[in-house]
């Protein structure tokens, strides 16, 4: 059993607690000891072994994030820290984001994932839905995927692998140490989190 990993969920806005609960469950199944907590200061981010950027509203997160925290996340990712970005979290990790209705907002993006996303691509809150997705990286059983004002990945760079599609739309990607999902795995089950911690800590 590996001891004392330090995982953080960016704690500015969004469903922080659900991501903590789901990570805890995955850590238990992976027999991984350590801490999982919400983080909002660069001093804490600098000490992390892995990070989750939760879903919520990416424009709000972009405006709440300080230049210092933004830079710490960028630096840690470039040093190889594994990151899981969920929905708004994936948008924040992307290098370009637009919305068909409101266009491109001047939001701060980490540009860590070489993808362009269409925000709210399935419509607004009322068009939220759930489905079951096949994710070969996880195994044969399908995972429950909940889409809430979800983005779709429209363009991917050479380094980016497609992890899941819904119909013909890219809804999960991976690039080196980063995984991004359009849907909310933390509201379905812990399978994607288990994949994330196993890959992050080479279990």
Catalytic residue among 87, 104, 155, 167: 87
User: Any catalytic annotation for residue 155?
Assistant: no
Cβ-based nearer residue to ligand GLN, 24 or 105 = 105
CA 57 remoteness from chain centre = 13
Closest CB 175 distance from ligand GLN, rounded Å: 19
CA dist 64 → 30, 61, 71, 111, 176 (Å): 33, 5, 14, 17, 27
Stated as kind and residue range, the H or E segment containing 99 is strand 96-99
In this chain, which of 13, 32, 56, 76 binds ligand GLN, going by CB under 6 A?
56
Phi, psi angle pair for 31, to nearest 5°: 55, 50
Task: State CA 56 to chain mean position distance.
Answer: 11
Alpha-carbon distance 168 to 170, whole Å?
Answer: 7
Residue 171 within binding range of ligand GLN, rule CB under 6 A = no
For the question of residue 35 being annotated catalytic, the response is no
Matching residue, tokens 């890959």 = 199
Task: Please identify, among the stretches 50-58, 108-116, 153-161, 168-176, the one whose residues bind ligand GLN according to the rule CB under 6 A.
Answer: 50-58
Q: What angle do CA 102, 87, 130 make, to 5 degrees?
A: 100
Q: How many residues bind ligand GLN (CB under 6 A)?
A: 11
List the one residue from 16, 26, 88, 164 that touches ligand GLN (CB under 6 A).
88
Residue 120 binding ligand GLN, by CB under 6 A? yes
Residue 87 a catalytic site member:
yes
Interface stretch with ligand GLN, choices 24-32, 49-57, 129-137, 158-166 (CB under 6 A): 49-57
Segment contacting ligand GLN (CB under 6 A): 67-75, 85-93, 130-138, 164-172? Answer: 85-93
Q: Which of 76, 119, 174, 191 binds ligand GLN (CB under 6 A)?
A: 119
Q: Which residue has the tokens 């001093």?
A: 43
Interface residue with ligand GLN among 32, 91, 163, 194 (CB under 6 A) is 91
Enter the DSSP assignment of 103. Answer: B
Residue 55: DSSP 8-state: -
Angle 90-91-94 from CA coordinates, rounded to 5°: 85
Q: List interacting residues with ligand GLN (CB under 6 A).
A: 55-58, 87-88, 91, 119-120, 148-149
Q: Which residues are annotated as catalytic? A: 87, 184, 186
């Amino acid at each position: 059993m590996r001891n004392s990993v330090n995982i953080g969920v960016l704690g500015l806005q969004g469903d922080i607690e659900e991501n903590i609960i789901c990570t805890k469950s995955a850590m238990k199944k992976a027999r991984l000891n350590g801490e999982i907590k919400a983080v909002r200061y660069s001093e804490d981010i600098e000490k992390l072994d892995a990070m989750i950027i939760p879903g919520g509203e990416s424009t709000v997160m972009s405006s709440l994030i300080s230049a210092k925290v933004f830079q710490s996340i960028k630096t840690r990712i470039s040093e190889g820290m594994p990151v899981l970005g969920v929905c708004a979290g994936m948008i924040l990790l992307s290098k370009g984001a637009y919305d068909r209705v409101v266009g491109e907002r001047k939001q701060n993006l980490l540009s860590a994932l070489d993808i362009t996303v269409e925000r709210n691509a399935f419509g607004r809150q009322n068009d939220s839905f759930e489905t079951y997705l096949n994710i070969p990286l996880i195994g044969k059983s399908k995972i429950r995927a909940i889409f809430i004002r979800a983005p779709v990945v429209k363009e991917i760079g050479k380094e980016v692998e497609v992890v899941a599609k819904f119909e013909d739309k890219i809804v999960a990607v991976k690039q080196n140490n980063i995984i991004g999902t359009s849907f909310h795995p933390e509201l379905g089950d812990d399978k994607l989190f288990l994949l994330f911690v196993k890959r992050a800590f080479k279990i």
